Amino acid sequence: MRWKSTLVLVALTVALGAYVALYEIKQPAPEQRRERASRVLTVNPDAISAVTIERPQTGAVELVRDGVLWRLGAGGVRADPTVVQDLLDATRSLRAERTLSGPDGHSLEAATYGLEPPVARLVLREGDRTTALRFGEATAVAGRRYLQIEGQAKIFVVSSALFDGINRPADAFRDAQLVRFSYYDAEELAIATPTSLSRLARGQDVWYLVEPLSDPADRSGVNRLLGKLAALKTVRVLEPGAGEPADPRTRIGAVQTLLVLRTGGPAPVTTELRFGAPLAADPTQVPAWRSDEPHLFVVPAADAADLVPTPQTLRDRACFVFFQSDVQRIDVTWEDHAWGVERAGPGPGGGAGEGWREASSGGSALDPMKVEAWFQQLAELRAQKILESPEADHGRYGLTAPTGVISVWTKTAVTPQQLLMGAPVGASASAGRYGWLTPREVLVEVPPAAEGLAQMTLDGLRPSPPQPATDSGPESRVSPAPPAAAR
């Protein structure tokens, strides 16, 4: 009969293991049970479709979800996504620090706690389900307030965070930013005025000026421009006056500036922004409209004017664009002196490190740190000015027979990047020289630093000679003690 007892024990063990695996292990820990028991709300903030805030002193505010946006009422202006998200997060984290109830299950007097009438009321709509919260007076403990859910007798003591989030003027829920976008998603920006047009387009990680001319754009300048656009704040909503048309495109009047921003990302969007003339009531402000909003806003006139740069301020002033790891060779000519450096290839033993040598047959090795420091200065060289002369008379600027030429060869380029240096800009040596950049084909003024780079010689890039040992005094001339065996 022992085999039957063994089977019974095995069956009990399996059943006990299944119970533990399917039930006990899945039970929340004591801390989780306490946390769940203290929750005041069971709503899912991500599923809330509308929020209504009622305060006797300031009136009601309605927030309605519109796809990925929130609006102040159906068809209203955009709500500040950060403010709304903070409110929703506060409902998620709402916990009862204490729960009050009357003796023998009787209800407490709500008026005693400022709940009838309430100080504020918050209504959350989740599909067909509605949950209403009543906020009462603050407790004797700072940062705490009484709260009751309509339809329930219990009164909770909760943190004041949720009440503080809704106890603000209606305009504080409005999105003050005229347009929200990520720098990384911006792909094209056009800026037009009655007398000018500039258009920028991004190719991979590089911005280009497309109109009124084609040229690489300055990354920092473009980022500053995008930063100003992203930071542009609206002062208020400009409601139509008596007898004025409702269409904001009509009310804005003559458009002074037109911006078209195209962003990529998961959901590409093209947004048109229009700015009108200064307001008669306040010339420091101008009306603004965006193509996806049925409202007219007011923005500071100075901020709108900052969005209209000149093409010159957007052009890249870098004389050379390269990564040191891509450089294969650099040739330099200054007057009647010419020299060059080239990559020497892998070091002794086939190591990964690469060195530099003179660009000549059997050229000697150069100091890599000195060469790369010189490269860094070359990469940081910026034109003082880009001249409005796409088809320059080279002879006029001393560029037919340039005084100096710097040529940079990289791994991927078929032709080198070149800076030709011609005549001085003025009588002063600090004024710099005229220059010509290829393959951009651009006439520039380069600073004196360009001349200094071209006047460098190979001797300045050679390894420093070893320093002789120095005599540090009588102690350095003491002969070493003989070995112990010799003594």
Could you give the CA distance from residue 54 to residue 133 in angstroms, rounded to a whole number? 10
Asked if 446 and 431 touch (Cβ cutoff 8 Å), the reply is no
Q: Where are the domains of the chain?
A: 33-173, 183-314, 324-346+353-461
288 φ, ψ (degrees, to nearest 5)? -140, 145
- Tokens representing residue 251 in the block: 């009310």
Phi-psi region of 349 (alpha: psi -120 to 50; beta: other; left: phi over 0): left
Tens place of pLDDT for every residue, the chain, 487 residues?
566 677 666 676 766 666 555 555 555 554 444 444 567 788 888 899 999 999 987 789 999 999 989 999 988 999 999 999 999 999 988 999 999 877 766 778 999 999 999 999 999 999 889 999 999 999 999 999 999 999 888 999 999 999 999 999 889 999 999 999 988 899 999 999 999 999 999 988 899 999 998 899 999 999 999 999 999 999 999 988 777 777 888 889 999 999 999 998 778 899 999 999 999 999 999 999 999 888 999 999 999 999 999 888 899 999 999 988 899 999 999 999 999 999 986 544 444 346 899 988 778 899 999 999 999 999 999 999 998 765 668 888 999 999 999 999 998 888 999 999 999 998 777 889 999 999 999 999 999 999 999 999 999 999 988 877 665 555 544 455 554 444 3
Residue with tokens 């094209």: 188
DSSP assigned state of 395: T
Could you give the CA distance from residue 297 to residue 235 in angstroms, rounded to a whole number? 7
- Tokens representing residue 310 in the block: 């000149």
User: 0.85 cut: is pTM over it?
Assistant: no
DSSP characters over 296-317: -EEEEHHHHHTT---HHHHB--
Question: Of 437, 403, 407, which is closest to residue 421 (Cα–Cα)?
Answer: 403
Report residue 302 CA to chain centroid gap. Answer: 23
* Number of Cα atoms under 13 Å in the Cβ half of residue 15: 6
Residue with tokens 């809704």: 166
- Tokens representing residue 457 in the block: 């010689």
Max distance between CA atoms of the chain, in angstroms, equals 118
Tell me the one-letter amino acid at 87: L
Alpha carbon distances (Å) from 256 to 72, 195, 196, 279: 29, 10, 11, 12
pLDDT, residue 239, reads: 86
Residue with tokens 């009310």: 251
Judged on CB neighbours under 10 Å (0-12, 13-18, 19+), 383 is buried
Asked if 435 and 419 touch (Cβ cutoff 8 Å), the reply is yes
Report the 10 Å Cβ neighbour count for 455: 13
- Tokens representing residue 437 in the block: 């950049």
